[in-house]
Homo-oligomer: A and B are copies of this chain.
Amino acid sequence: MSTIEETIKTMAIAAKQAAHKLISLSTERKNRVLLRMADALAAQQEFIRGENDKDLEAGRDKGLSKAMLDRLTLSDKVMASMISGLQEVAALPDPVGEVTEMVKRPNGIMVGRMRIPLGVIGMIYESRPNVTVDAAALCLKAGNSILLRGGSEAIHSNLALARVLQECLAAENIDAAAIQVIPVTDRAAVTYMLGLEEQIDLIIPRGGEGLIRFVAENSRIPVLKHYKGVCHVFVDDTADHAMAINIVMNGKVQRPGVCNSLETLLVHEAIAAAFLPRVGEALAGAGVEIRGCPRTCALLPYARAAMDSDWGMEFLDLILAVKVVPDLESAMQHIVTHGSQHTEAIVTNSYANGQRFLREVDASAVMINASTRFSDGGQFGLGAEIGISTTKLHAYGPMGLKELTTRKFIVYGEGQVRV
């Protein structure tokens, strides 16, 4: 084993041992340490900023883009959001220990399911150092250890944040190995981490599609991930036009760079002539480039002709693909072909079409008459979000505290044996 491998394996073994003790930690103690962490981040801002400055300086020397440097910066706003995040997680209900579905079987044994932590979560992420704190807080509340492997450009910030969090764990007599940042920035560290199936129970990657594909293709450990969000809105022939315009504009314009923003608009042909010029005007007014099918372009002179590659494209920008479709069926067929199983919405006043869309469209979130931008743990009421899954195993859609747990069977008997 190389030194890198030894370092990581030692950390993973320590994380597993720490996780074993977290199982029986009371909610009260978990909340107390979370609130202590919030206080400590506030108290140690100077130290954290100093370490963050080292990363920013190195980033400028390496010629990182302004957007990259922005993501890397622990500004007042980001610090405040980490602190309030810790307080919010402390206030959330503890999922661990909940017993459900308890039944008495004919032979008298009582069988139920108890919610338990997953164990050790491996988080692999890119530049934003605030992920270190946000993810650690959620994992701790759900009773899990976390091994964090952030990007090399944020290494000083991540290690500084972990140090503050670990001091809080130690002060509450909790094994500090419950939260660890891997100090090795070598790519080989990720590959090696992905092979530690004996120690790590779940990998959550957060970052660009390249990182996520790398993780998915190299992991022996289950991975919860989404590659991208290509969200569609289908405006049905019975839609309220003003409502549809609102939903389209919110989806495309409010925050175009995120995964639940709108990328393709599908319009029922019966209302295309009336609806498209109105929505087109609103979009153009907000600076949105429209890439349309031939029928869209015929109605909107300022639209560009869409290329084949525009269908299913995640623009993450003020660009919208627009297509006229003959009916609900074709809209759903387009979504099957080009969707990303993230979030899909219909705007309709037809009860039958709304219900059918809801039932048949295969995506982690399916909506009637609402903006795709709602597809988010906070908006859905999960409290906080550790990520989004567009694969169906374990969790599908935004993941909160509950998705960081699993359930075991428990049996209360009085000496019963099997006959």
**A-side interface residues toward B, CB under 8 Å?**
20, 23-24, 97, 103, 105, 109, 111, 114, 116, 118-119, 201-202, 216-217, 220, 222, 240, 243, 246-247, 249-250, 254, 336, 345, 356, 358-360, 362-371, 373-375, 379-381, 391-394, 396-398, 406-418
Say how far A237's CB is from chain B's closest CB, in angstroms: 17
Q: Give A20 to B362 CA distance when docked, in angstroms.
A: 9
CB-defined contacts of A119 to chain B, threshold 8 Å: 362, 392
Question: Do B217 and A220 touch (CB < 8 A)?
Answer: yes
Question: Do A373 and B222 touch (CB < 8 A)?
Answer: no
Q: Give A371 to B419 CA distance when docked, in angstroms.
A: 10
Tell me the nearest residue of chain B to A247, going by C-beta: B417
In-complex Cβ contact of A368 among B201, B240, B412 (8 A): B412
CB-defined contacts of A118 to chain B, threshold 8 Å: 392-393
Question: Do B246 and A415 touch (CB < 8 A)?
Answer: yes
CB-defined contacts of A417 to chain B, threshold 8 Å: 246-247, 249-250, 254, 370-371, 373
Each complex incorporates copies of this chain amounting to 2
Question: Do A409 and B393 touch (CB < 8 A)?
Answer: no
Say how far A139's CB is from chain B's closest CB, in angstroms: 14
Say how far A220's CB is from chain B's closest CB, in angstroms: 7
Give the 3 A-B CB pairs with smallest separation, nearest first: A370-B413, A250-B417, A243-B415
CB-defined contacts of A393 to chain B, threshold 8 Å: 118, 201-202, 222, 393-394, 406
Given contacts A254-B418, A345-B411, A364-B408, 13 further A-B contacts (CB under 8 A): A20-B336, A105-B381, A109-B374, A111-B380, A201-B391, A202-B392, A250-B417, A368-B412, A369-B412, A370-B411, A370-B412, A374-B416, A393-B406
A sample of 26 inter-chain contacts (CB < 8 A) reads: A20-B336, A20-B362, A23-B362, A103-B381, A109-B374, A111-B381, A114-B358, A118-B392, A216-B220, A222-B391, A222-B393, A254-B418, A362-B408, A364-B408, A365-B408, A365-B410, A366-B409, A366-B411, A367-B412, A370-B416, A371-B413, A371-B416, A374-B413, A374-B418, A380-B409, A393-B394
In-complex Cβ contact of A409 among B201, B243, B364, B391 (8 A): B364
Q: Give A12 to B371 CA distance when docked, in angstroms.
A: 34
Answer whether A368 and B411 are a contact pair too, CB < 8 Å, given A103-B381, A393-B406. Answer: yes
Q: Give A356 to B406 CA distance when docked, in angstroms.
A: 18
CB-defined contacts of A222 to chain B, threshold 8 Å: 222, 391, 393
Say how far A365's CB is from chain B's closest CB, in angstroms: 4
Answer whether A116 and B362 are a contact pair too, CB < 8 Å, given A105-B379, A369-B413, A414-B369. Answer: yes
Say how far A382's CB is from chain B's closest CB, in angstroms: 9
Question: Do A418 and B201 touch (CB < 8 A)?
Answer: no
Tell me the nearest residue of chain B to A260, going by C-beta: B418
Q: Give A415 to B241 CA distance when docked, in angstroms.
A: 10
Say how far A178's CB is from chain B's closest CB, in angstroms: 16
